[in-house]
Amino acid sequence: MAISIHIARTGVFSVDTMGNVLSKDDPNVTIKQHLNTSMGHRVIADAAIPNSTNSPSVEDYVAAEALNFYVVHYLGQSMIVSYLRTPDGGFSS
């Protein structure tokens, strides 16, 4: 029996009022934009984990995983581990 597991890395990023992650290395981002940000704990985008696209907030990521029948097994400052459960409550195979 195989189990589908997602291990998503997380980090703290500068986030603007629209919820976009701003990079200090992006030459198109102004100092004024950086001054109007807050720090947000976000999931780091990973092509192997569809729900991590666009670096969602941890709350949004966990909610999206739940909609796809993934159960959070571990939630820490640097990662979230979730595994797939079938709609009837069993493990995926």
pLDDT per residue as tens digits for the range 16-65: 888 888 887 888 888 888 888 889 899 999 999 999 998 999 999 999 99
Residue 89 banded pLDDT, cuts 50, 70, 90:
low
Kindly state the DSSP code that residue 51 receives in the 8-state scheme: G
Alpha helical stretches, state H, 1-93: 31-35, 58-67
- Answer for the pair 82, 65: CB distance below 8 angstroms, yes or no: yes
Rounded Cα–Cα distance for residues 72 and 63 (Å):
10
